[in-house]
Amino acid sequence: MSMIDLSIGRDLEAQLEQVRRLGREHLRPLGIEADSRREPVPPDHPFFALAWRMGLGQPLGVEERPAGGPRTGARRGVVLAEEMSYWDRGMSVAMPGLGLGGPPLLSMGTPEQKERFLAPFRDRERPHWAAFGMTEPGAGSDVAAIQTTAVRTGDDWVLNGAKTFISNSMRADWIVVWATVDRGAGRAGHRAFVVERGTPGLEDMRYEHKMGLIAYESSSFTLRDCRVPAANLLGGERYYAERAGFKGAMRSFNATRPAIAAMAVGIARAAYDAARDFARTHYALDRPIPRYQRVRDKLARMARKIEAGRLLCWRAAYLADLEQPNEIEASMAKAFAAGMAQEATGLAVEILGDAGVTRDAYVEKLYRDVKAMDIVEGTGQIQRIVIARRLVGLPR
Amino acid sequence: MFTLALSDEERLIQDTARRFARDRLLPGLRAHERARGVPRELVGEFAALGLTAGEDLGAFGRVLVLEELAAVDAGAALALDAGGLAQPLLDAAGLGAARGRGVVIEDVEGRFHARDGRLAGEHPWVPADEIAVAVVLHPERALIVHEGWRLTPIAACGLEAAGASRLALDDAPIAATLEDPRALRRARAGIRTAVGALLVGAARGTHEYAMRYATERTAFGRPIAHHQALAFLIADLATAVDIARLAVWRAAAALDRGESAEWEGASALAEAAEQALFVGPNAVQILGGHGFMKDHPVEKSMRDIRTLAQMAGGRDEAELAAAALVPERELGFAGRGDRCP
């Protein structure tokens, strides 16, 4: 009997049942509603308060080291992320929680910072969000090229620059903002700051209008002489003296990449179910009609590729739980799952025929939603660069 | 919670097969090809390792061995593998280990006819020059024969070290008929999974070779692997190999859990064939003109992969089998806590 075990276990299955109920009753209807209204679900929507009280936040495979036994957080993370995203990927990002702000705080933050910035998230009365601000209008994939500056002035740091496409930043208690102390120094000049809501100079918050994933807000903002206390420099001065600044950012990507890939798998799975249910009711799949055979072939291809993507995500998460290097595996999962999910949603549209391109068709929404998965958290091209660096030493 | 680690025993199986392939198959790669087989002493040596189809390795142990052998020479892997693909059917029919090479014919086009306990028909290609058992697979049954064939040697696209023949059965006496639907499903899944493992091995071997070459060969002042067009291709080929392997591992694990694994086996072969057919020609492409020459093994792997992907009904039958199951196929996690979703 093989050691390979691909079961998820009864405990996680029970937790998934909770997510399924949440998904059926809330995530999908709210995601569809936001999509048709073309507006994100507002932070004061009663659903967020309900979910927060239930202890449900964004599943991104982030956990602090357990006292004993193997970590399971990354594995639980990919399974839960897939399931949440299956119901609605936009809503899964809109969920309260640390979001992408979590990994840098947990991996780089001092004990004092963790205590201070995690404290509000222990309050279950009112939902809380955090955010992660790296991307700038002129720096996307090339994160080393960020232009936001940080200058030490007395007990403060003064930040100047602009950030864009930052998820949940308008509703966040705090944002991990990346800036540079020396534009010529590349990654070595990077510093991460926890910028709290209401800090003077954190200005011009505005929604960006997206093709899909409408349910969560993507926003842009400006930092204009924004003074941040020195105590909010993530990790403290010593952290950067060891020149670990950029690695900190990259580590946070590595922790989340398998879960982001799993979200693409979840969208593809939703497309599969929608297309299969449509086909069952509209087509006589068991009849030897060429069109129906094509439909079956497409469904089989979707199912096979979805499972392949899932296995890549699981492998990357498994390695993360073992705290083994997973950079290649995480990038493979992300690159493949995002491409696969685009193909799957496209096939779903084709299976529905002309009905597939109408706004009434759920698969039409999925087709728009899924495109972002090949862009966020490192485009497919960036993933291939990461893989090739490791495999054949592709230079920077 | 799912785990993807090999046990110590599985690693030992893998290492043993890997060493044998490297030390005993690689030096004779082209010689075995020309000879249409591997020397008898190698067959004996490999059998003594206890890694052939008749041994109790489980489906998972089998795929580990087949991948390692095929990473060097998929044709030799078939030549060494005794009953090979026929073995799952022999096991299901209670006939024990094959006494020599076995071949399986998925009779897609209905070329074989059974009458009065005898089987007649012709098949254009089997990957063997000598056999001890042949199995003809029909949708509802498997017909096993131990004699009564004519094998006419032919030239094939690849897998030369396994041999290649046209097979004719002249009213061959049927030794056993397997009709139990579940046993047939499992045997078919086992066969497809094994072919998938061979495809994974061949794809991995040729990708590793091409990747090494790409870091050594320079063009325009740097290793060709450092031109993004090839760097991206190499990344995609590596991903393709891993996707195929995971699909094969999943099918093997399902078989070892005693499931019918019909979906998993069909998916494994379909996936492995698609990915390997992507890897094979692209590995040649990475070597450019050198890839087209017999000086490098990538041309052989490309031909081997093309040939392997026809076995056991090939990619078409695997995809059709999966498509037939798909209207009921659930991909969600509900009710699947203790087995693979």
Q: What is the mean pLDDT of residues B260-289?
A: 97
Site of tokens 């932070």: A43
**Which of B144, B277, B244 is closest to A305 using CA atoms?**
B244
Measured in angstroms, the CA of B217 and the nearest CA of chain A are apart by 12
Same structural domain, A135 and A31: no
DSSP string computed for A279-321 = HHHHS-TTS--HHHHHHHHHHHHHHHHHHHHHHHHHHHHHHHH
Same structural domain, A173 and A193: yes
- How does residue B288 score in pLDDT terms, banded at 50, 70 and 90? very high
CA A261 – CA A165 distance, rounded (Å):
19
User: What's the total number of domains in chain A?
Assistant: 3
Same structural domain, A191 and A239: yes
The angle that helices B228-256 and A380-392 make with each other, rounded to 10 degrees, is: 90
Chain A CB within 8 Å of residue B228 CB: yes
Q: Are strands B133-138 and B102-106 parallel, antiparallel or unpaired?
A: parallel
CA B69 – CA B312 distance, rounded (Å):
19
Q: What is the CATH number of the domain that holds A269?
A: 1.20.140.10
Q: What does residue A11 show for φ and ψ, rounded to 5 degrees?
A: -60, -50
Confidence (pLDDT) at A70: 73
Pick the range with the lowest mean pLDDT from A248-252, B10-14, B22-26, B113-117: A248-252
Architecture in CATH of B8-81:
Orthogonal Bundle (1.10)
Beta-bridge partners for A222? A162, A203
CA A181 – CA B318 distance, rounded (Å):
58
Same structural domain, A318 and A376: yes
Picking from A8, A303, A310, the nearest residue to B337 by CB comes out as: A8
Which CA distances in Å does A30 have to A88, A260, A320?
8, 21, 32
3-state secondary structure of B108: coil
Taking the CB of residue B294, how many other CB atoms lie within 10 A of it? 9
Pick the CATH number of B86-180 from 3.30.429.10, 1.10.10.10, 2.40.110.10, 3.40.50.150: 2.40.110.10
Architecture in CATH of B183-328:
Up-down Bundle (1.20)
- For residues B160 and B127, the answer to whether their CB atoms sit within 8 Å is no
DSSP string computed for A359-392 = TT-HHHHHHHHHGGGGTTTS-HHHHHHHHHHHHH
pTM listed for this prediction: 0.93
Same structural domain, A237 and A251: no
Site of tokens 């490309």: B302
Measured in angstroms, the CA of B97 and the nearest CA of chain A are apart by 20
Measured in angstroms, the CA of B297 and the nearest CA of chain A are apart by 20
**Which of A107, A145, A210, A130 is closest to A177 using CA atoms?**
A130
Pick the range with the lowest mean pLDDT from A59-68, B135-144, B292-301: A59-68
Q: Is the residue at A3 inside a domain?
A: no
Q: What is the signed CA dihedral for A247, A252, A254, A256, rounded to 10 degrees?
A: -170
Residue of chain B nearest A391, judged by CA positions: B235
Residue of chain B nearest A17, judged by CA positions: B334
Q: What is the 8-class DSSP label of residue A40?
A: P
Same structural domain, A268 and A214: no
Chain A CB within 8 Å of residue B231 CB: yes
Q: What digits encode the pLDDT tens for the residues B188-239?
A: 999 999 999 999 999 999 999 999 999 999 999 999 999 999 999 999 999 9
A125 burial (CB, 10 Å; 0-12 / 13-18 / 19+) is exposed
Contacts of B232 in chain A (CB under 8 A): 381, 384, 388
Q: Say if the Cβ atoms of A394 and B231 lie within 8 Å.
A: yes
Long-range contacts of A196-200 (CB under 8 A, 24+ apart): A196/A232, A197/A172, A197/A173, A199/A226, A199/A227, A199/A228, A200/A226, A200/A227
Q: What digits encode the pLDDT tens for the residues B149-182?
A: 999 999 999 999 999 999 999 999 999 999 999 9
The ipTM of this complex is 0.94
Q: Say if the Cβ atoms of B243 and A20 lie within 8 Å.
A: no
Contacts of A79 in chain B (CB under 8 A): 333
Measured in angstroms, the CA of A9 and the nearest CA of chain B are apart by 4
3-state secondary structure of B297: coil
Domain end position, chosen among A244, A277, A305: A244
- For residues B110 and B139, the answer to whether their CB atoms sit within 8 Å is no
- Containing domain of residue A353, as a range? 246-392
Same structural domain, A213 and A341: no
Same structural domain, A79 and A207: no
In chain B, the percentage of residues whose pLDDT exceeds 70 is 99
- For residues A325 and A386, the answer to whether their CB atoms sit within 8 Å is no
3-state secondary structure of B334: coil
Q: Which of residues 33-72 of B touch A (CB under 8 A)?
A: 58, 60-61
- For residues A280 and B327, the answer to whether their CB atoms sit within 8 Å is yes
CA B67 – CA B37 distance, rounded (Å):
19
Residue B7 has pLDDT above 80, yes or no: yes
Confidence (pLDDT) at A61: 43
Beta-bridge partners for B126? B165
**Each residue of A357-368: b (16+ CB within 10 Å) or e?**
eeeebbbbbbbb
Picking from A10, A318, A335, the nearest residue to B3 by CB comes out as: A318
Which of A83, A217, A364, A377 does the annotation list as catalytic? A377
Contacts of A16 in chain B (CB under 8 A): 333-334
Q: What is the CATH number of the domain that holds A214?
A: 2.40.110.10
Same structural domain, A89 and A21: yes
Beta-bridge partners for A228? A157
Residue B246 has pLDDT above 50, yes or no: yes
Domain end position, chosen among A193, A216, A244: A244
Same structural domain, A360 and A250: yes
Residue of chain B nearest A329, judged by CA positions: B239
Measured in angstroms, the CA of A364 and the nearest CA of chain B are apart by 20
Domain end position, chosen among A244, A259, A290: A244
Q: Is the residue at A2 inside a domain?
A: no
CA dihedral sign of residues B194, A1, A259, A393: negative
Which CA distances in Å does B36 have to A190, B125, B135, B155, B280?
62, 14, 22, 10, 22
The domain segmentation of chain B, as residue ranges, is 8-81, 86-180, 183-328
Same structural domain, A299 and A367: yes
Chain A CB within 8 Å of residue B259 CB: no
Picking from A86, A308, A391, the nearest residue to B235 by CB comes out as: A391
Contacts of B243 in chain A (CB under 8 A): 308, 311-312, 336
CA A190 – CA A330 distance, rounded (Å):
24
CA B104 to chain centre: 12
Confidence (pLDDT) at A58: 59
Site of tokens 């498994």: A318
Q: Is the residue at A4 inside a domain?
A: no
Same structural domain, A328 and A234: no
Q: What does residue B214 show for φ and ψ, rounded to 5 degrees?
A: -65, -20
Q: Say if the Cβ atoms of B239 and A332 lie within 8 Å.
A: yes
Residue of chain A nearest B64, judged by CA positions: A2
**Tokens representing residue A77 in the block:** 């993370």
Q: Say if the Cβ atoms of B267 and A9 lie within 8 Å.
A: no
Q: Say if the Cβ atoms of B326 and A79 lie within 8 Å.
A: no
User: pLDDT averaged over consecutive 10-residue blocks of chain A (396 residues)?
Assistant: 81 90 95 97 95 72 56 90 96 91 89 94 92 92 90 96 95 96 89 96 94 96 97 92 59 73 98 95 84 92 97 95 92 98 98 93 97 94 96 93
A377 annotated active-site: yes
Picking from B256, B325, B333, the nearest residue to A79 by CB comes out as: B333
Measured in angstroms, the CA of B5 and the nearest CA of chain A are apart by 6
Q: Is the residue at A61 inside a domain?
A: yes
Q: What digits encode the pLDDT tens for the residues B52-106?
A: 887 889 999 999 999 999 999 999 999 998 888 999 899 999 998 888 999 999 9
